[in-house]
Amino acid sequence: MSKFGTVYIQYVKNYYRSRSFYLMLFLISIISIMMIYFSFKYVNNLPKFFGSSSIPIQIKEALFYFLWTLVLLYVPVFAAVFFGSPAISSEIENKTAYFIFPLPINRYKLYMGKFLAACTVSVIIMMIYLIAEVGTLSYLFHSLPTIYFYYSFILLILFILAMTSITFMISAIFNKNTYAYITVLLIYYIVFYVGSFIIELLYRIDPLYILSDAASVIERAYMNINTENFFSTPSLSPVPFADIIFSALIMIIYFIASFAIGLILFERKEVS
Amino acid sequence: MEIFMNSLTKKYGKITALNNINLNIKGQGCVGLLGPNGAGKTTMLKLITNIIKPTHGGVQINGINVSENPEKGLNFVGSLIEQPEFYTYLTGNEILDFTRKIKGIGKEDFKNKIGDIINTTQISTFIDRKTGSYSRGMKQRLALAVAMIGDPEIIILDEPTFGLDPKGMKDIRTLISNLAKTKLILLSTHLIYEAREICDRTIIINNGIIEHDSNMADNKFLLKITLDSPERSIVSGKIKNYAINGNEIIVEKYNDYENYEIIEDLINQGIKVKYVEQFDNLEDVYISIIKKNKVNI
């Protein structure tokens, strides 16, 4: 097996045995169970909730898809924070760098192996939720996932790659895990969200080039609804394909740029 | 087996931890790196093992620049730097197997040699436990086992007896002495007696520069002879130099002569010798260097 493969397997092992993994597993299980419970409980009560005698099945289905996919946008962020934020800083803080750096292996192989391991465990966590989602909605609405689900899944993978890549880059800046955790959360929830809000307010455009906005396409692709229109005038117009492509490209750019910067920082990382 | 340092310099901001070191360490044997805390010993070892990068100059191991080609250069090296930690959710066995794979050692070859390493480092009782539950001493032993995997021709050890009980310390010193018969060992320590016991060559480093570099055989051997009564002078052709202080004489002998021959000379002069103690002047050299330059790192 190649050195890269060896590093990947070791880090996957270390991740899936870690407390962070079990905590994420616990969280995703609780969320999934709650979503299943609410889906079954409220599927027939929606008309009452909206004060109408009946609502079309497509709207009902779209609402449930919306609720499930809304969660889908937040879980990769938490997974990336849990697995990615301490990825590099912990090597310094926990002194494992003294073991790993003197080994005869190029650093980029270490970085890539660990990155791929963190993405793998994030995808495992997401798969649990996705299986619960698809299973529940298929049972309730007697429909199998359409091609849009697979688009959404690919976009979700891109989002996990981009998010994990950003957390690795930030982790490579710091020597303390706490700083890395805080900075990632600040960047995602303050810089991205507030930035997006201000741009929307000032220029009346949806800034898809901000990662959090670009990621919203996961939900829109899955529902195949242009949510912007849906909330103003509840119509079921499909998400423009150009939006899917553009958002995917944005996530790829975030992934490549932050991965490259993180790698350069890691190559220069010192334990002093 | 060779470690070559060329104008090796490491700066942390305004602080120069290592200043223009030119050093060649070649052949089997144990080379002791002595110096007070903050002298630059660990910085030097970190540079050799690519944990940090030089500000200027470089380190070559068997002709390969370590920071440019760590995958090739570090293949000759096993190391124990500071007090390493391991991935807490992996067992000692998994750590050793991971190291094996990174060093590109075949399973069969590993199987044949790992038993010896486990026995020598005495890690068999806890090797199947996750390293998160290890004590300081257990981690130190595992780190030593990691350093020995692949039978590297160069072993870099940074205070390897740290955290061990007296028996453990003795065992490790014996192990290093045995390894030094066929390998090049670079041992950093602040214990002079440890260097004296194990090393063939000692390098004293202080304030980031090499202050002293000598073979142990070249160190002047001194005798401290305590007499029954004070003497004014002694005569012996086997003595290079001496100093009398009351009934105590410090003798610097010629290396060609044994201690008993000098004592015989004194007894022949009617001098009554109470007891004799041999020591080298490494400690004096060390202390004089430290006193001369106050450590400011």
pLDDT digits (tens, 9 = 90+) for A203-252: 877 788 888 888 887 777 776 665 554 455 555 567 778 888 888 999 99
* Mean pLDDT lowest among A96-105, A146-155, B38-47: A146-155
Write down the pLDDT at residue B296.
41
Question: What is the interface pTM, i.e. ipTM, of the complex?
Answer: 0.82
Write down the pLDDT at residue B250.
83
Band of pLDDT at residue B184, cut at 50, 70 and 90: very high
> Touching check for A48 and chain B: CB below 8 Å?
no
Write down the pLDDT at residue B224.
82
Nearest-angstrom CA–CA distance, B215 and B199 = 9
CATH topology of domain B2-217: Rossmann fold (3.40.50)
Share of chain B above pLDDT 70, in %: 96
Domain ranges of chain A: 3-267
Write down the pLDDT at residue A31.
93
Query: pLDDT tens digits for B70-102?
Result: 999 999 999 999 888 999 999 999 999 999 999
- Our measurement of the distance from residue B16's CA atom to the centroid of its chain's CA atoms, rounded to an integer in Å, reads 23
Residue A112 scores a pLDDT above 60: yes
Residue A172 scores a pLDDT above 90: yes
Band of pLDDT at residue B297, cut at 50, 70 and 90: very low
Per-chain mean pLDDT for chain A: 86
Task: Count Cβ atoms below 10 Å from residue B52 Cβ, excluding itself.
Answer: 23
With an 8 Å Cβ cutoff, are B102 and A268 in contact?
A: no
Who among B53, B74, B88 is closest to A270 (CB)? B53
* Mean pLDDT lowest among A25-39, B59-73, B220-234: B220-234
pLDDT: is B156 or A148 the higher one?
Answer: B156
Contact A211, A169 (CB under 8 A): no
With an 8 Å Cβ cutoff, are A99 and B85 in contact?
A: yes
CATH topology of domain B221-280: Alpha-Beta Plaits (3.30.70)
Write down the pLDDT at residue B8.
94
- Give the pLDDT mean for B63-72: 92
- Give the pLDDT mean for B157-171: 84
Nearest-angstrom CA–CA distance, B290 and B268 = 41
Residues 2-61 of B with CB under 8 A from A: 12, 46, 49-53
Give chain B as a DSSP string.
-EEEEEEEEEEETTEEEEEEEEEEEESSEEEEEE--TTSSHHHHHHHHTTSS--SEEEEEETTEETTT-HHHHGGGEEEE-SS----TTSBHHHHHHHHHHHTT--HHHHHHHHHHHHHHHT-TTTTTSBGGG--HHHHHHHHHHHHHTT--SEEEEESTTTT--HHHHHHHHHHHHHHTTTSEEEEEES-HHHHHHH-SEEEEEETTEEEEEEEGGGSPEEEEEEESS--S----TTEEEEEEETTEEEEEE-TTS-HHHHHHHHHHTTPPEEEEEEEESHHHHHHHHHHHS----
All residues of chain B having their beta carbon less than 8 Å from the beta carbon of residue A99 are 84-86, 95, 143, 146
Question: What is the value of pTM for the model shown?
Answer: 0.84
Q: β-strand B29-34 against B15-26: which pairing, if any?
A: unpaired
Nearest-angstrom CA–CA distance, A156 and A158 = 5
Contact B249, B234 (CB under 8 A): yes
In this structure, which amino acid lies at residue B272?
K
Query: pLDDT tens digits for A51-90?
Result: 666 677 777 777 777 788 888 888 888 888 889 999 999 9
Domain ranges of chain B: 2-217, 221-280
Residues 99-138 of A with CB under 8 A from B: 99, 101-107
Nearest-angstrom CA–CA distance, B141 and B164 = 9
Write down the pLDDT at residue B293.
57
> Touching check for B188 and chain A: CB below 8 Å?
no
Residue B194 scores a pLDDT above 90: no
b/e A208-245 (16+ beta carbons within 10 angstroms → b): bebbbbbbbbbbbbbbbbbbeebeeeeeeeebeeebbe
* Mutation to test the B interface, candidates A21, A101, A268, most B Cβ within 10 Å: A101
Residue B39 scores a pLDDT above 70: yes
Gap from B62 CA to chain A (nearest CA, Å): 14
**A243, A249, A250, A255 alpha-carbon torsion, rounded to 10°:** 150
Residues 94-113 of B with CB under 8 A from A: 94-95, 98-99, 101-104
Band of pLDDT at residue B238, cut at 50, 70 and 90: confident
pLDDT: is A48 or B57 the higher one?
Answer: B57
Alpha helices in A142-226, H assignment, sequence order: 147-173, 177-185, 193-203, 211-223
Nearest-angstrom CA–CA distance, A217 and A242 = 11
Band of pLDDT at residue B246, cut at 50, 70 and 90: confident
> Touching check for A18 and chain B: CB below 8 Å?
yes
Nearest-angstrom CA–CA distance, B55 and B7 = 10
pLDDT: is A86 or B284 the higher one?
Answer: A86
> Touching check for B66 and chain A: CB below 8 Å?
no
With an 8 Å Cβ cutoff, are A101 and B51 in contact?
A: yes
Residue A265 scores a pLDDT above 80: yes
Write down the pLDDT at residue A161.
95
Gap from B184 CA to chain A (nearest CA, Å): 17
Nearest-angstrom CA–CA distance, B195 and A251 = 57
Residue B134 CA: distances (Å) to CA of A172, B137, B148, B226, B289:
27, 8, 19, 49, 38
Find all residues with CB under 8 Å of A153, minimum gap 6, and list them.
Answer: A130
Nearest to B132 by CA among A14, A146, A98: A14
Nearest-angstrom CA–CA distance, B224 and B278 = 6
Gap from A115 CA to chain B (nearest CA, Å): 16
b/e A259-268 (16+ beta carbons within 10 angstroms → b): bebbbebbee
Phi and psi (nearest 5°) for B192? -65, -40
pLDDT: is B242 or B126 the higher one?
Answer: B126
Gap from A17 CA to chain B (nearest CA, Å): 6
Q: What is the CA radius of gyration of chain B?
A: 23
Write down the pLDDT at residue A244.
83
Query: pLDDT tens digits for B106-138?
Result: 988 888 889 989 988 889 999 999 999 998 888
Nearest to A98 by CA among B156, B243, B249: B156
Residue A231 CA: distances (Å) to CA of A169, A210, B270:
36, 21, 114
All residues of chain B having their beta carbon less than 8 Å from the beta carbon of residue A270 are 51-53
